[in-house]
Amino acid sequence: MGDPPVPNLLTRTFNSIGGSLMARSGRVGILRTTGARTGKARSAPLGFVLHADGTVLIGSGSPENRGWTANLKANPSCTFSIKGAEKRYRARPVTADGREAAVSELKASAGSMTERLTWGDVFLLEPEA
């Protein structure tokens, strides 16, 4: 399959400006990762489910064009901001056993934003001590 394509300027601009504006609503959080190939700081606006135990569930609608999934696989340490409150997490891919329930939970929370979620990766972010 190869490496995911590098996001173009329009995507990066949306992620930095539009994603930040959407994050103020609380429906979208900002994931900050380290680039798998570049080692540079990267950010992506994502729908999420916040659990009572402090874990955060996030998912990708597509296995292609999702650099953040490659970043989490290469370096699972990340931060996630909800309404400006940023916390450190360690990402863990959701296993096949829990995937259907996780996708259902994301769809119930984020609605139409998750129409293609079944195609991509799903991660559980666990708070770092």
Q: What's the CA gap between 14 and 7, in Å, rounded?
A: 11
Task: Write down all domains in the chain, each with its CATH number in brackets.
Answer: 9-127 (2.30.110.10)
Strand, coil or helix: what is 8?
coil
pLDDT tens by residue, 55-70: 999 887 666 657 899 9
Residue type, 74: A
Q: Is the pTM of this model over 0.85?
A: no
Of 63, 78, 83, give the one whose Cα is nearest residue 127. Answer: 78
For each of the chain's 129 residues, which pLDDT tens digit applies?
455 455 556 555 555 554 444 444 457 899 999 999 999 999 988 889 999 999 999 887 666 657 899 999 999 999 999 988 999 999 999 998 998 898 888 878 766 555 555 567 889 999 997
Instruction: Pull the structure tokens for residue 47.
Output: 């729908």
Q: What's the CA gap between 27 and 109, in Å, rounded?
A: 9
